[in-house]
Amino acid sequence: MAGHQQIVDKGPVGRPVARMAAQDRAQAVHVGGQRLLEALDGTGDGGSRPAAPFVIEPLSPRERAVLRYLPTMMSNQEIASELFVSVNTVKTHLKAIYRKLDVADRREAVRRARALELLAP
User: Could you read off the pLDDT of 7-40 as tens digits, one per residue?
Assistant: 454 555 444 444 444 443 334 333 444 455 555 5
- Nearest by Cα to 67 from 93, 47, 39: 93
| CA 34 from centroid of its chain's CA atoms | 20
Query: For residues 69 and 57, what is the distance between their CA atoms, to the nearest angstrom?
Result: 20
pLDDT of residue 51: 52
- Give this prediction's pTM: 0.57
Provide φ and ψ at 84, rounded to 5°: 60, 45
pLDDT, tens digit, for every residue of 41-77?
A: 555 554 444 455 666 789 999 999 999 999 999 999 9
Task: Taking each helix axis as running N to C, give the angle between helix 106-115 and helix 87-101, from 0 to 180 degrees, rounded to the nearest 10.
Answer: 50
Domains of the chain: 1-52 (no CATH), 61-115 (1.10.10.10)
